[in-house]
A = this chain, B = another copy of it.
């Protein structure tokens, strides 16, 4: 894999001097076109061995182009705010918005490689991490990110020669530390481990480009020309990629579904309700103050038919919690800054710190519900979203986040009754809009989307709880008890 990057590639100074000005002007022009179009973001990932010119190249790119529209990020040991979120949070928060370039210096691949080199992780773990990286990068590419990955390489011999030369010169001796030699002793292992990464994460949409780092002119021109070609090709492409049409989803032929199987009107009187409410709220409250809870956080998703009582259910949950411990996240149309990012970005930015709850009133499932039904995204967009969402929730769960998801279901007749009541009662008037009536006309489409959603995203780590909600009191108790049960189970595990 590294053979072509150990040939001692060189570009003569004169040739460099001849080609560099035109390249530079062209890059600047392409960067401007990128900003003017605002169509996609560019993510440049920089990896490779030390001393192969990574930093120099990044600085050069900033010099060639307009540094005001490039965001360069390095990843030193994570801050405490980062440690309290899933591993990928720090990368999500540094993704560049559309129209700009982000240079990520040692991004999501670095820790897995170093952990494996140092044998802090075994091969199975490493393989799993690589698989996660593949899926993450696939998602970025599908979301329109132009993803370019450069791996800077030096042969064993060249690396040794570099260190020896530095160590011999009294002026540069200080630059070679014991750590450098220690790392050099692991050269072969590092090479083997990174080859595994490069091989497995070089995909059609985001191949690694291996750059021999020995000669400054060669590596600079290589990265510059490659970046320019990629930018130009992408800018020229005016059509969105025509996605392969997904296999059609066929609803069950006998019309039976997880929703139709529900008995929506569950009995529970107000007299039964009051003591149950108090009991479950008390139990939830005690859990939220449990010492072990500080190691977890909770993400609750509330989805449901319009007027199914999401707001009321959420308020019965928050009433059991200390207001300093939760954050409600009402999800409506994305803001301008959110629209300039992959669709999951706005949910990542709202992930809670340890010991906290985030209560999402609607969520990332909008992608496979309203966006699917109203055709706000393409079929392949929402088809791939199931997998992306499962990956997202698995990452949360792996970090100790307790993911709890509710679908509140009412019957079509009950919805009509509630809509009418909302229109009648002045106080509830603001809760009913023409959009609600519009959605109601698409009842069957939405129900089908819900069934598909449950089938495809109810996972072991993040199962759906379907809530029969014609009787609001019953629904609230079911939400509280299911949420409490999930937290109890998690705390018992540790």
Contacts and interface: CB of A to CB of B under 8 A. Distances in A.
Interface in A301-358: 311, 314-315, 318-319, 321-324, 326-330, 335-337
A323 B66 contact: no
B430 A63 contact: no
Contacts of A74: 324
A371 interface: no
A244 B327 CA distance: 39
A25 interface: yes
Contact of A324 (B80, B105, B326, B336): B105
A70 interface: yes
A132 B139 CA distance: 47
A62 interface: yes
B336 A67 contact: no
A67 B314 contact: yes
A322 B59 contact: yes
B328 A69 contact: yes
B25 A67 contact: no
Contacts of A427: 25, 29
A446 to B, nearest CB: 22
A430 B32 contact: yes
A470 to B, nearest CB: 23
A192 to B, nearest CB: 28
A329 B68 contact: yes
A43 interface: no
A58 interface: yes
Chain A facing B: main interface SS: helix
A250 interface: no
B80 A327 contact: no
A315 B80 contact: no
Interface in A186-210: none
A81 interface: yes
A359 interface: yes
Contact of A430 (B36, B71, B103): B36
Given A73-B324, A322-B59, A311 B361 contact: no
Most buried by B among A61, A318, A337: A318
Given A63-B318, A315-B67, A72 B323 contact: yes
A269 interface: no
A324 B55 contact: yes
A337 B334 CA distance: 11
Contacts of A319: 59, 62-63
Interface in A264-296: none
A79 interface: yes
Contacts of A359: 67-68
Nearest to A338: B337
Contact of A328 (B70, B73, B361): B70
Nearest to A319: B63
Contact of A58 (B55, B66, B72, B323): B323
Given A81-B81, A337-B335, A323 B59 contact: yes
Nearest to A334: B336
Nearest to A355: B76
Interface string A382-424: 0000000000000000000000000000000000000000000
Interface string A466-479: 00000000000000
Closest 10 CB pairs of A and B: A68-B328, A72-B323, A74-B324, A336-B336, A68-B330, A67-B318, A62-B323, A58-B323, A79-B81, A67-B328
11 contacts: A62-B323, A63-B318, A66-B315, A67-B315, A67-B326, A69-B330, A70-B328, A74-B324, A79-B79, A80-B81, A335-B335
Given A62-B318, A74-B324, A335-B335, 12 more contacts: A29-B427, A36-B430, A59-B322, A62-B323, A63-B318, A66-B311, A67-B318, A68-B328, A70-B328, A72-B326, A80-B81, A335-B336
